[in-house]
């Protein structure tokens, strides 16, 4: 396993295949306020590709091309936030997408623990550290611990999807899950437009 760090954008020739796991690190949890700092990706081969985003940066052509590529499935855990963060920064809306947190909530109804660490422990018998979750991602240079943490958030999503897909099929919820995934980019846009705390489907 190796971590590759890039500045501002993905390399021109990098091909991450038909399904790419993606996660983001930001300065906080409010996309309008807290800037995007790192976007990490994996093709599921055990390697992670990290892009460090500069303060004030609004363009990343290769990354945006990947996000908008209709032939590449983007895998997220809680994609609602990551999609919004990248759209707010670059104006590129990720699609098509898959969210392991949504899939978990649809099939793991026997628990209210849907965090990535919980899923990995139960479904893949894998443990990851969350020690660097609250660290300064806007620092000019990332520490090895930060890079390892960022990588851990994407390295297992392909295998996790496979397990969740199996459960979705077994419980007869694959179709409704897909409809939720299809709506997720719009949900992210609603968040950015001011409806993050409003249930527009309620009375």
Average of per-residue pLDDT across 167-184: 98
At 103, list the tokens.
Answer: 């899939």
DSSP type of residue 54: P
pLDDT in tens, 101-114: 999 999 999 999 99
Assess whether pLDDT exceeds 90 at residue 133: no
Give the pLDDT confidence score for residue 136 in this predicted structure: 95
Picking from 19, 54, 29, 17, the residue whose alpha carbon sits closest to that of residue 39 is 54
Residue 131 has pLDDT above 90, yes or no: no
Tokens of 132: 């660097």
* Confidence band for 118, pLDDT divided at 50, 70 and 90: very high
Pick the CATH number of 3-195 from 3.40.50.970, 3.30.420.10, 3.40.50.300, 3.50.50.60: 3.30.420.10
Closest listed residue to residue 74, CA positions, set 185, 174, 187, 167: 185
Q: Which two tokens stand for residue 203?
A: 């009375």
């Amino acid at each position: 396993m190796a971590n590759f760090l890039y500045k501002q954008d993905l390399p021109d020739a990098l091909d991450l295949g038909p399904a790419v796991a993606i996660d983001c690190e930001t300065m906080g949890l409010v996309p309008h306020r807290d800037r995007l700092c790192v976007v990490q990706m994996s093709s599921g081969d055990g390697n992670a590709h990290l892009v460090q985003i500069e303060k004030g940066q609004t363009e990343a052509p290769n990354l945006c091309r990947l996000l908008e590529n209709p032939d590449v499935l983007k895998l997220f855990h809680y994609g609602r936030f990551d999609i919004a963060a990248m759209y707010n920064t670059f104006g590129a809306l990720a699609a098509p997408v898959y969210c392991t947190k949504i899939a978990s909530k649809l099939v793991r109804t026997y628990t209210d623990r849907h965090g990535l660490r919980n899923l990995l422990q139960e479904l893949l018998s894998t443990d990851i550290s969350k020690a660097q979750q609250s660290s300064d991602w806007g620092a000019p240079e990332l520490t090895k611990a930060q890079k390892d943490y960022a990588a851990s958030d994407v390295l297992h999503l392909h295998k996790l999807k496979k397990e969740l897909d199996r459960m979705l099929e077994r419980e007869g919820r694959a179709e409704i899950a897909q409809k939720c995934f299809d709506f997720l980019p719009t949900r992210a846009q609603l968040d950015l437009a001011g409806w993050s705390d409003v249930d527009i489907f309620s009375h």
